[in-house]
Amino acid sequence: AVAVLEESLRYYPDIADSQKLYGQLLLGLGEDDAALTALKHAAEYNPFDLEVQQALVDIHQLRGERQEARRRQELVDILQFES
């Protein structure tokens, strides 16, 4: 699945759902740095995706990046309030 998504993203890197799925798969494989990059791309293309924003909070917390985790958590709180 990862190889198929990598190929797809080579041609269509701006599809948020593909970036999101790719990031989730990479997280499951323990490739946190690559997952972070993919999820950040997904958030750039669709900043209103609650799952992506929450995943970014979780990754930043695991990495001890408190300030970025708080910033992303503020976005999550807004998105939860609006839904």
pLDDT in tens, 32-65: 999 999 999 999 999 999 999 999 999 999 999 9
pLDDT number for residue 82: 78
83 has pLDDT over 80: no
In this predicted model, which residue has the larger pLDDT, 73 or 82?
73
Q: What is the pTM of this model?
A: 0.91
pLDDT number for residue 1: 86
11-35 burial string, b = 16+ CB within 10 Å, else e? Answer: eeeebbebbbbbbbbbbeeeeeebb
